[in-house]
């Protein structure tokens, strides 16, 4: 019998409301583990290249891991994956909260969803049983109202619900999926995929909260050890005390806080949106299932519903410095609106900043937006554009397609200010001060992603001690882009990919945070009973990265898509990082060195030998001798 997981995967066909339960072998779980690895397997197996991301043939995977729901801090994350309507490539996005563990308790390790329902529905899963319910009364509701209504309909006030808001129903290409109103599967447009399938939500409840572990005594010891270390490990103390808003002042002091659509790295209003300003609105800390870190923020702001949490760093950067706005109250409102409507805060803020620069440069005029220009610093105009994006009205209907597509529609030189990688908007970290993040943006299979590898600025000086267990023995040089940086990126990528496979939050785990690498391995052994080690888990991480790359190669992606935006190749104009830029030739050389280190050819395609080495011989690419 399996320990730590159910050994059951639910397959649902919305076309005819049929379903079946698959019971894979233990070797299957050891090979793909969970998260993006499990998702990539089902997408590569079941999805034809060229499939319309918003068509009924797209496949949506909800994936846990073999250890999701264990009572350790940070073991709560789950993955949504599909073909992205935003990028046309592989999409995965993770979220914490309470939904992932509850799905595990309800009897399944993953859900594979195909087809399109004839009319709106939601899935109700309880104790291993599925109902496909009519969502007519829920369709059109914002996320908080949908949560309340679904709980009322199923008669379970503690049911956990992952839902889309009106933005997903209207298929805004960067719409997200929210669970419990404040935990987001934010990136890659998964809300639009659910909307295209007439799927409003997945709700679940399990009466038994006790997963059987192979070694429950060791699990109990690990829980105590980890929670105590969170209280004493300085990086975790900072997360608990300040949350991610602490990054605003640090990045501004370094001169790499994205400002005015990446025109600058210093924002004069940083104190108003960073910790000094945030402390004026902070109500309390929030957390995820059984997590002692409590890094999430809940704010007390007039006309902002606290059930939608508070702005995290990415939101503060997206609606704050990137838009030239220093009004913490308006930023908090934008965060609430995104969570109510189901919009990714990063892409929404980026598309507003793009529009602002277009207005600044007279690419857009008053006539394009109901007689009003929206310039940098215009908080009221920013909120108005968020409203229009959700409603898909006026200029908002164009912006709802994302920066890349919007720029083509607007024309008149708008593409000069449209910044995406593989079609996805850029997160709020300027790689001109930390080039490892630049490699993350260029090489992430999902488009620009700041969670692809640990950020190099954390490992200068004595910080190198955190990454020595990865075989990285020398401190990083944040602004260098050399062979050592590629090695750092590759090993760090595998580490964070392993965390994603296992559904472990990076904010409580290696390499920087409290849960050490050897403790991660100990947890997997104690929960599953597997005689495993770090080598096997890192191999699984590499396998998932390679499968995602194969998926994108099939969809026509090539080295030309592994790039950065032009502004990152231009010097920062002022501040402590003045003059910093990323050399295009250095980037190109680093990317091709990465291909070589990964066992990929010059076109970025994993070789036949690499696929066979990773037990991926079932892929057609591994069977070809060409």
Residue 169 to residue 336: CA distance in whole angstroms: 18
Please give the pLDDT value at position 68.
98
Please give the pLDDT value at position 208.
81
User: For 118-131, b where at least 16 C-beta lie within 10 A, e where not — what string?
Assistant: eebbbbbbbeeebe
Q: What 3-state class would DSSP assign to 420?
A: strand
Q: Are 441 and 426 in contact (CB under 8 A)?
A: yes
Angle of CA points 591, 596, 601, to nearest 5°: 95
Alpha carbon dihedral 264, 460, 230, 97, in 10-degree steps, equals 40
Residue 343 to residue 189: CA distance in whole angstroms: 9
Residue 189 to residue 18: CA distance in whole angstroms: 26
Tens digits of residue pLDDT in 544-583: 999 999 999 999 999 999 999 999 999 999 999 999 999 9
Residue 149 to residue 12: CA distance in whole angstroms: 23
Q: Are 65 and 568 in contact (CB under 8 A)?
A: no
Which residues of the chain have a pLDDT value below 50?
626
Q: Which residues pair with 600 in a beta bridge?
A: 606
Tens digits of residue pLDDT in 397-415: 999 999 999 999 999 999 9
Q: Are 532 and 521 in contact (CB under 8 A)?
A: yes
User: For 173-189, b where at least 16 C-beta lie within 10 A, e where not — what string?
Assistant: bbbbbbbbbbbbbbbbb
Least Cα distance to 140 among 459, 500, 391 occurs for 391
From the centroid of its chain, how far is CA 521? 24
User: What separation in angstroms does the CA of 165 have from each of 42, 43, 159, 339, 380?
Assistant: 26, 25, 18, 8, 22
Please give the pLDDT value at position 119.
98
Least Cα distance to 250 among 232, 230, 235, 233 occurs for 235
Please give the pLDDT value at position 200.
99
3-state secondary structure 36-83: HHHHHHHHHHHCCCCCCCCCCCCCEEEECECCCCCCCCCCCCEEEEEE
Both tokens of residue 222? 């690990």
Both tokens of residue 237? 């103390």
Q: Which helix (H) or strand (E) holds 130?
A: strand 129-134
- 470 secondary structure, DSSP code: G
Domains recognised in the chain with CATH numbers: 9-205 (3.60.9.10), 244-425 (1.10.569.10), 435-623 (1.10.599.10)
- 264 secondary structure, DSSP code: B
Q: Which helix (H) or strand (E) holds 202?
A: strand 199-205
Q: Are 64 and 99 in contact (CB under 8 A)?
A: no
- 592 secondary structure, DSSP code: H
Please give the pLDDT value at position 1.
76
Q: Are 531 and 522 in contact (CB under 8 A)?
A: no
Please give the pLDDT value at position 94.
98
User: What separation in angstroms does the CA of 197 have from each of 56, 116, 136, 193?
Assistant: 6, 4, 14, 6
Q: Percent of the chain at pLDDT above 90?
A: 98
Count the Cβ atoms, other than its own, within 10 Å of residue 605. 17
Q: Which residues pair with 90 in a beta bridge?
A: 83
Q: Which residues pair with 65 in a beta bridge?
A: 34
Residue 333 to residue 84: CA distance in whole angstroms: 28
Angle of CA points 37, 84, 489, to nearest 5°: 50
From the centroid of its chain, how far is CA 88? 16
Sign of CA dihedral 530, 536, 542, 543: negative
Residue 388 to residue 84: CA distance in whole angstroms: 23
Q: What 3-state class would DSSP assign to 156?
A: coil
Both tokens of residue 383? 């909120």
Least Cα distance to 157 among 148, 167, 170, 166 occurs for 148
As separate numbers, helices (DSSP H) first and strands (DSSP E) second, the chain gives 24, 16
The half-sphere exposure of 516 on its side-chain side, counting CA atoms within 13 A, is 11
Residue 588 to residue 594: CA distance in whole angstroms: 10
Q: Which helix (H) or strand (E) holds 191?
A: helix 190-196
Residue 462 to residue 11: CA distance in whole angstroms: 48
Q: Which helix (H) or strand (E) holds 335?
A: helix 328-341
């Amino acid at each position: 019998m399996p320990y730590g997981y159910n050994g059951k995967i639910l397959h649902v066909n919305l076309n005819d409301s049929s379903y079946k339960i698959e019971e894979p072998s233990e070797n299957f779980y050891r090979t793909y583990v969970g998260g993006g690895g499990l998702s990539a397997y089902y997408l590569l197996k079941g999805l034809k290249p060229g499939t319309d991301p918003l068509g009924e043939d797209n496949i949506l995977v909800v994936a846990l891991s073999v250890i999701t729901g264990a009572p350790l801090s940070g073991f709560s994350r789950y993955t949504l994956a599909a073909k992205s309507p935003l990028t046309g490539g592989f999409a995965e996005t993770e979220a914490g909260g309470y939904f992932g563990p509850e799905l595990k308790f309800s009897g399944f390790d993953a859900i594979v969803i195909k087809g399109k329902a004839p009319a709106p529905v939601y899935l109700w899963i309880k104790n291993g049983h599925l109902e496909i319910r009519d969502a007519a009364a829920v369709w059109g509701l914002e996320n908080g109202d949908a949560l309340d209504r679904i709980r009322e309909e199923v008669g379970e006030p503690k049911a956990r619900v992952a839902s889309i808001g009106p933005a997903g129903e209207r298929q805004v290409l960067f719409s997200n999926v929210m669970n419990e109103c404040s935990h987001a599967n934010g990136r890659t447009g998964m809300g639009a995929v659910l909307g295209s399938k007439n799927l409003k939500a997945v709700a679940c409840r399990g009466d038994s909260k006790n997963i059987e572990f192979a070694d429950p005594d060791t699990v109990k010891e690990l829980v105590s050890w980890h929670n105590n270390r969170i209280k004493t490990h300085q990086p975790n103390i900072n997360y608990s005390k300040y949350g991610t808003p602490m990054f605003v002042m640090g990045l501004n002091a370094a001169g790499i806080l994205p400002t005015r659509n990446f025109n600058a790295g210093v924002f004069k209003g940083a104190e108003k949106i960073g910790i000094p300003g945030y402390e004026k609105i902070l109500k309390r800390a929030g957390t995820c299932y059984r997590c002692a870190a409590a890094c999430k923020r809940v704010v007390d702001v007039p006309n902002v519903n606290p059930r939608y949490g508070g702005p995290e760093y990415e939101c503060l950067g997206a609606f704050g410095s990137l838009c030239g706005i220093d009004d913490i109250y308006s930023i908090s409102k934008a965060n609430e609106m995104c969570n109510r409507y189901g919009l990714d805060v990063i892409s929404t803020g980026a598309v507003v900043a793009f529009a602002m620069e277009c207005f600044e440069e007279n690419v857009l005029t008053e006539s394009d937006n109901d007689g009003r220009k929206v310039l940098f610093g215009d908080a009221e105009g920013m909120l108005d554009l968020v409203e229009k994006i959700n409603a898909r009205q006026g200029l908002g209907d164009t912006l709802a397609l994302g920066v890349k597509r919007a720029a083509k529609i607007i024309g008149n030189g708008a593409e000069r200010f449209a910044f995406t990688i593989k079609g996805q908007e850029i997160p709020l970290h300027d790689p001109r001060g930390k080039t490892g993040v630049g490699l993350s943006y260029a090489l992430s299979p999902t488009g620009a992603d700041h969670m692809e590898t640990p950020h190099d600025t954390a490992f200068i000086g004595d910080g190198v001690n955190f990454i020595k267990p990865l075989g990285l023995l020398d401190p990083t040089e944040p602004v260098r882009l050399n062979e050592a940086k590629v090695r750092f990126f590759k090993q760090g990528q595998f580490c964070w990919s392993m965390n994603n496979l296992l559904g472990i939050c990076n904010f409580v785990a290696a390499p920087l945070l409290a849960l050490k690498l050897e403790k991660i391995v100990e947890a997997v052994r104690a929960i599953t009973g597997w005689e495993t080690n770090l080598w096997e888990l890192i191999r699984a991480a590499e396998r998932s990265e390679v499968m995602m790359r194969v998926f994108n190669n099939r969809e026509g992606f090539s080295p030309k898509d592994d790039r950065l935006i032009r502004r990152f190749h231009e010097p920062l104009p002022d501040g402590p990082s003045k003059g910093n830029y990323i050399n295009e030739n250095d980037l190109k050389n680093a990317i091709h060195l990465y291909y070589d280190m990964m066992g990929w050819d010059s076109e970025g395609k994993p070789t036949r030998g690499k696929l066979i080495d990773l037990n991926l011989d079932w892929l057609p690419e591994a069977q070809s001798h060409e």
